[in-house]
Amino acid sequence: MSESRPSPSRVSFAAVTPNNLGTVRKLNSVLFPIKYSEKFYNDITQPDVEDFCQLIYYNDVPVGTMCCRVEVKDGQAKLYLMTLAVLAPYRSRGIGSQSLKHLIDTAAAHAKPKIDAIYLHVQVSNGDAKRFYQRHGFKEVGLYENYYKKITPHDAWILQCDIEHTATVTSEGK
């Protein structure tokens, strides 16, 4: 029996809030080899990142998380993708791809600030993750030596996807 990709209606997203933060903490404890700080959890519930810090649901069951922060440097805004992961039993169903597409579309539509790119770090031993992001338009833009302090290998690839903005036309023709 072949597995088919879920219809988009089976995958949904909800902003991370203080009310669902316990679910995010539990998912992160299973999904990642490190423990995140209280500052991380406080930062991902702030209103300015609610579009970019999301719980990922499959058939109304929380199965993953996606958390970003906005960084502005020299007048250019970038999203730093801190976490994106889906529980193992739900992988290979297109959920990660739909989540990343949702993030890219949200970034492209974001006006204040206008997001120019999304970037992230991938541990050099994680070739599957690197290939996943490359399939979605990310390119390797550098290597960060000794990025990871508590896990080995310590080095990380820096991957980035530039955001293409579509021109918006108002109905008033202004």
Is residue 154 annotated as part of the catalytic site, yes or no? no
Contact 97, 136 (CB under 8 A): yes
Catalytic residue among 36, 57, 80, 148: 80
User: Alpha carbon of 56 to those of 36, 62, 152, 165, 167: distances in Å?
Assistant: 18, 6, 28, 24, 29
C-alpha span between 92 and 70 (Å, rounded): 29
Catalytic residue among 90, 119, 121, 133: 121
Residues across the chain: 174
Neighbours of 74 (CB within 10 A): 4
Q: Could you please report the per-residue DSSP string of 5-51?
A: PPPGGGEEEEE--TTTHHHHHHHHHHH-SSPPPHHHHHHTTSGGGTT
Is residue 90 annotated as part of the catalytic site, yes or no? no
The sign of the torsion formed by the CA atoms of 29, 32, 38, 40 equals negative
C-alpha span between 75 and 85 (Å, rounded): 30
Active site amino acids = 80, 121
